[in-house]
């Protein structure tokens, strides 16, 4: 069992998956910072100095100075500003991943078509091996082409 486990750990796919996961976490942190620190302030400024992170609907009936105070108190509230931030974050990550996959696909050469191994019988339209002189389905004689 230990040998199987070591073989599993040594496989390249597991290492590649681990590297991809770590890069994904780092990429998510970068995108989150890009959204929260650069994009959202610009969007908020463009629509009238709105800080999306501070937008919420208080359902508890009490007043709180900020979103952080309401969250700390455990107040019943709808934090729609955080949802807007996360939605924009998701859309930008999806756009970046789409662009990366699209660029990667352009670097790949198209798969070459495999040489045909069969031909069509002109009488019954069945697939017949290229070297066959008779159709196995209708027994018609086939040309050598």
- Phi and psi at 28, nearest 5°, equal -65, -40
**CB–CB of 79/66 below 8 Å?**
no
Q: What is the pLDDT of residue 116?
A: 87
Banded model confidence at residue 44, pLDDT cuts 50, 70, 90: confident
pLDDT tens for residues 85-109?
888 888 888 888 898 889 988 888 8
pLDDT in the model for residue 145: 57
Provide the mean pLDDT of the chain. Answer: 85
Write the pLDDT tens digit of every residue in 71-84: 899 889 999 988 98
pLDDT at 12: 64
Burial 46-55 (b: 16+ CB within 10 A, else e): eeeebebbeb
> Which has more confidence, 120 or 8?
120
DSSP letters for 48-111:
TS--GGG--EE-SSS--SSHHHHHHHT--EE-HHHHHHHHHHHHHHHHHHHHHHHHHHHHSPPP
* DSSP tag of 120: E
Fold of 12-108: 1.10.1200
**CATH 1.10.1200.120 segments of the chain:** 12-108
| Residues 6+ away with beta carbon under 8 Å from 26 | none
State whether the Cα torsion 111-112-117-120 is positive or negative: positive
Highest mean pLDDT, choosing among 8-12, 42-46, 141-145: 42-46
Q: Kindly state the tokens that stand for 89.
A: 């974050």
Residue 48 region by backbone torsions, left for phi larger than 0, else alpha for psi between -120 and 50, else beta: left
């Amino acid at each position: 069992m230990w040998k199987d486990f070591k073989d599993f750990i040594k496989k390249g796919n597991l290492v590649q998956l681990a590297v991809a996961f770590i890069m994904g976490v780092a990429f998510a942190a970068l995108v989150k910072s890009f959204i929260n620190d650069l994009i959202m302030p610009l969007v908020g400024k463009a629509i009238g100095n709105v800080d999306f992170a501070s937008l919420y609907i208080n359902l508890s009936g009490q007043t709180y100075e900020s979103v952080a105070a309401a969250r700390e108190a455990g107040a019943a509230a709808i934090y729609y500003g955080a949802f807007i931030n996360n939605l924009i974050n998701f859309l930008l990550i999806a756009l970046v991943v789409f662009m990366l996959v699209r660029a990667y696909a352009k670097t790949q050469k198209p798969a070459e078509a495999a040489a045909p191994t069969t031909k069509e019988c002109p009488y019954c339209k069945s697939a017949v091996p290229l070297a066959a002189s008779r159709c196995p389905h209708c027994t018609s004689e086939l040309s050598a082409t």
